[in-house]
Each structure stands twice: as C-alpha cells, then as structure tokens.
Amino acid sequence: MGCNVWGSILQKSSAINQCNSVCITKESVVNGSCTGHGCCESPLPSSRVPLPTTALPSIDKLFFITLHCDDKHLDLMSYGMRTYGFVVEDGSYDFIESDPQDFNRNISMKLEWSIGEGNCSQAMESNSSLCAENSYCIKSKRGYGYRCKCLQGYQGNPYLPGTLGCQDIDECSARSNLCVPKATCQNRVPGYACIDDGSTVAIKKSYAVAQNQVHQFIEEILILTQIDHKNIARLLGCCLETQVPFLVYEFISGDTLYQKLHGDADDSTPLSWKSRLQIATEIAEALSHLHSCASMPIVHRDVKSSNILLDKNHEAKLIDFGVSRFIPQDKNWVLTVLKGTRVYLDPEYFETGNLTEKSDVYSFGVVLVELLFGQAAIQHEQTQAYNILVTHFLSCVERRDLFKIVDEGILREGGTDDLQATMEIARRCLSFKGEERPTVKEVQKELALLIR
C-alpha cells in the first residue's frame, strides 16, 4: 500500500508473487478498490509447511514481503509518503484513501491448517487419529490432512480428552432450542427433546415470514395428511398462528444420507453394501407409495440424499415435502417455475416444465449413483448446466469400465452380479426421456430381489 511502490512475496530469495501500486493523481485513488491505485494485492501461495520442531522453521520454509519505492517520481508521492506491506485474510480489508497517510486500523489474517498428510480413513486405519471422544474427523479444506470437530450437540476442544474436550451442550438452559412455550425442554446427551404428551418430536421452522412461505407450509400439510408410510417422516401437528409458522414431525435420531455418505456424519462408520441396497429399496418403496397409494398421485419433486434421514438402524425416512405437488390421474402438470435441486433435477422437466412421476425416478437415479460410488452429486462450476457425477457415471457405462470407479470395499461386499444389476437400474432411471425410465414400482421390485 502506498504510491509508486512495488511489493513482492519472496521465498528462498525468489519472487513468487508481486504487484505494484501507483498514484497518477489523488483522484485515481478510490475507496474500496485495491487494484493498483494506492493499493494492490497478490495471493499468498498455499504451502505445506510442517510444524517446526525448533523455535523457528528453516529459512527455506519462510515467506518474506519486500517493498521497493520509486524515488524518481517524488513529485507524485505527496499524497502517500508512507508504504506498507502486510498479510490479511481475503475479503476482510477494504482500502480507504487516507490509509497510506495514517494507517492505524486493525487487520486480521487467517491461517488454514490440517493434521498430517493422510485423510480421515487413513488416520483411522493406522490408529493415529488425534480426534478425542465425542468428536469426529473431517476433510481438510487444504486438500490433504484432516481436522477434528465436536459431534452435534457438543462443544469444546475436539483434540483434548475428558472434561477438557467436547462437552454436551445444555440447550435447555441456553434457550437455544425450538420448543414451543407449552412444551417442556429436556436436555439429552447429546441434543434435547421437546415434551406435550411425552413424545420426542422434530420441529421444521420457517426462516422467512413471507406469505408464500406460509402457503408452502400449507401445501406440505395437505400433502402429508394423505401419506402414511414407514419410510416417510410422519407429520404430527403444525402451528400457523405464530408469526413464523412451524411443522411438528416425528423425531428421527440420525444423520441425513448425504452426511453419512460424504463425511459429515456423527457416526463415521461407512455404510455396508447391504445397508446401501436396503436404503435404496426403502426410498423406492416410499416414492412408490406417493405415486400410487395416495388419493391423488404425489410427486416429491426434491428427492436428494440430504432429504433422506437415517435412524440408528439405518432405516431410511423421506423428508421435506415443501415443493411437492399433487398430479391429476393420467395427466402431466406444466410448471413455469421450476423447483428442486439442480443436480438432481430431471433434465426433461428442466427443459419443458412437464412434471410427472418419472421426474422423481430421475432424481432417485442420482441418489442411487451416490450410494454406488460414495461420491457427491456436484454441479459443473463453469456452465452450471450438468451433474458431474451423473455425466461421469454415464460415460463409464458407455466405455464399460464401471467397476474401476466403484469402491473396493463395496465391490468386495456386493459382488459383480449385484453391482452390475444395480448400475443397470441407475442407468435406466437416468434416461433423458421420461418415457424410457422405469416406474418407481418396477425399480423397487428389482432392488428388493437383490436383497438377501
């Protein structure tokens, strides 16, 4: 920061990144801008620096900031005679034109860190994980190593044992619960429970107060009153008179399928092939009930792994009917406003707006691929147009090398025949045209035959 100054980041006497700041006129310096007029910025490269075993790491591990002023243009430096160089957390500093003259503001920097070189699985296999009790391992944002985090309902230091580590949060005394005024809050280890008649319940509460949010809740109530199935979360009651409406569901003690598959679950034990197949079958049964057993067919419209809850026995429960719709018998419903999560969305519905039961079948196919390969459904960052996981799966189907991307443990448990049959079901569910997809009833029957 300053006028006519060059700043460099050095390591081993070599410049890694650099930028320069000039002040052609005082008017060229703009508040909030750090693009080379009075202020410039350059990213600090990521570095795999181990913790030092001595007071300081070796000199070749350090970064240095150097500044060089151009004293040939002193007449242009009357605005900012001082120069500064500093490390700051990205996005936390906004340049002010008076800073080069009198810089006395507090700034912050953020150090990303991780433990070791291996991932969570490797740390657990080698029995070297530093995560203490009531905590679990999470992936590092740096791309290698791992971190520890307290389980949901606990707080504290996840690396320390006993009373120094993760301790239960008393949500009742902290008043950080969603129990209604007439209910009694009971602290649990972990979590808490709300008691009217002794039952434990779950509360779905709206964050918005907009009228359309209330209408969405009413739609969800109307749909859920038509449903009674063991693999669909049961609605127990509601309250629409309060400023912020909420729904009361049966309480399911467990994580979502997304958390379980992709490393954010309280329980880090991986799902067996038999459990994955059972979960897929149960969700297919739930969707089949929606499509055929209600008084009018219901399309869930937002089937995804984060809308599937697993209880302690890994029994699946389909949740969140906020965007679901009744479909008249033997008719399609054209919707001008698309709803659902993009990476799970039926491409035919996305292009035409035609909503049918086959739209749920496509979304189920994405979940089935997640169960097969343990990878998350990810949207392409640049085009925002397609699901990377589905595209990869279908290309592997075409090349006939599917087993190369299946986890070795799943391949060993499931066997090639059952895996091949499940992959074929997923392929048919992911057909671009809805008419080429099987019904969810057909899917359920085929999956049930694979369970032994």
Rounded CA-CA distance 70/168 in Å is 59
Q: Which of 414, 122, 419 is nearest to 268 (CA)?
A: 122
* Element spanning 17, H or E: strand 14-21
Rounded CA-CA distance 448/390 in Å is 23
Residues β-bridged to residue 139: 146
Rounded CA-CA distance 290/379 in Å is 28
* Element spanning 167, H or E: strand 167-168
Rounded CA-CA distance 331/356 in Å is 8
Rounded CA-CA distance 417/412 in Å is 11
Does 302 participate in catalysis according to the annotation?
yes
**Which phi and psi angles does 368 have, rounded to 5°?**
-65, -40
Structure token pair of residue 87: 């490390």
Rounded CA-CA distance 85/74 in Å is 20
Written as one string, the DSSP assignment of 257-269 is: HHHHHTT-SS--P
Catalytic residue among 99, 255, 302, 346: 302
Structure token pair of residue 423: 């992959």
Q: Which of 310, 201, 305 is nearest to 246 (CA)?
A: 201
Query: Coil, helix or strand for 288?
Result: helix
Rounded CA-CA distance 276/374 in Å is 10
* Element spanning 363, H or E: helix 357-373
Q: Which of 277, 254, 274 is nearest to 265 (CA)?
A: 254
Q: Tell me, what amino acid is at 322?
A: G
Residues labelled catalytic: 302
